[in-house]
Amino acid sequence: MNNMGDSLEDPAPILLRHFRGHHGPITCLAYNHHSNKLASSSTDKSVNLWNTDDRIRCFKFTGHSDAVNGVAWSHNGQLMATASKDRTIKVWVPTVRGSSCNFPALSGVRSVEFHPKDRKLVTANEDKAVKLWSIETKRFLQSFLGHTNRVNCARYSPSGKTVASCSDDRTLKLFDVNSGDCVQTFAERGNVHGNDVAWHPDGSLVAVALSNSQIKIFDRRACKLIQLYNVHLDAVNSIAFHPSGNLMITGSEDGSTKVLDLLEGRPIYTLVGHDDAVTAVAFSGDGSDFATASKDKQIMLWKLNMDILNASDLSSAQPSIENDRNLENILDTSVMIDPRKSVHYKYRPEEYDIIE
């Protein structure tokens, strides 16, 4: 792994700022793609709403009675949903006097996500089920059954027609939303489970972050593994595709974030600076920035600072990602970015006025 000096001309990620406002480890990050807002959930039972280009104010939303495991924005950016260990899902109108409605669940809720078009939610639950909810009627709609242990994450495909979920039962499952049937299962061997799931922007690929330090990317049409990365030293907690589909960021228990070039099939940057495990990563809507969060209660906001092919160019580049190379033993030649060695780095996280 190479080290990079403090050159501003290098086309590599740059730390823009880092800030603190939670009193417990951060569990999830979600950008509002219609504004400059970034939401973060925490084990401190709250959700913080940050203005990424305003260094003064942060709005705190409270109401859960236990750890908040997930946070998500509606496709129009007007609603925010939270999932908690307290067995509830809340949908918020995130204003200064934010109101919310409750969806009672039968068990702790591990993740939540809005349908990309309809007013519905999908959740991953500790009672082994993936569940759908209607926001308009404020009611439970149906369960997707098939997992035999706690479900850790459930995500809609870009079209909203399929849900991908990973579980402690060592499987990644794809469910048809209309029928509720499990249409594909990818199983792991040994004591390995999935922590996070992400869809490629064109919906053809689905990725899973695994407890054995690996990231796997599957072709859902060919029903096969096409890329495998074993570049972390510990469990991978969170993954996110760049909007172009050509990059991925990953966060791990080893305290690092990796930037993966999916077209070349290799890690290109390793980002450090957090004092504990990286628990959440997320790209902004246009992909120019991304955020990382940690058990150290800090959020780091990064500028990608790289030229990336647009999604419209992906079709011509797609064959290079669809190959059978096994990357399990890939040599990590990524460049390490350590902002703490930069002359621009401020050790103290920026102070925010927390408005509750």
pLDDT by residue for the chain (356 residues), tens only, comes to: 655 544 445 688 999 988 899 999 999 999 999 888 999 999 999 999 998 876 667 899 999 999 999 999 999 999 999 999 999 999 999 875 566 789 999 999 999 999 999 899 999 999 999 999 999 998 999 999 999 999 999 999 999 999 999 999 999 999 999 999 999 999 999 999 999 999 999 999 999 999 999 999 999 999 999 999 999 999 999 999 999 999 999 999 999 999 999 999 999 999 999 999 999 999 999 999 999 999 999 999 999 998 775 543 333 344 344 444 444 556 688 899 988 887 666 655 665 666 66
**pTM for the complete prediction?**
0.90
List, in order of start, the domains of the chain with CATH numbers: 2-308+316-355 (2.130.10.10)
What phi and psi values does residue 339 have, to the nearest 5 degrees? Answer: -65, -20
**pLDDT score, position 98:** 62
Supply angle C-alpha 91, 95, 98, rounded to 5: 50
**pLDDT score, position 324:** 43
C-alpha 107/C-alpha 283 separation (Å) is 30
Residues in the chain: 356
**pLDDT score, position 307:** 78
Tell which residue, 273, 277, 285, has the closest CA to residue 252: 277
Ramachandran category for residue 77: left, alpha or beta (phi over 0 → left; psi -120 to 50 → alpha): left
Tell which residue, 124, 137, 264, 127, has the closest CA to residue 194: 124
Instruction: Check if the beta carbon of residue 246 is closer than 8 Å to that of residue 263.
Output: yes
Residue 8 CA from chain centroid, whole number: 28
What sign does the CA torsion over 186, 142, 150, 236 have? positive
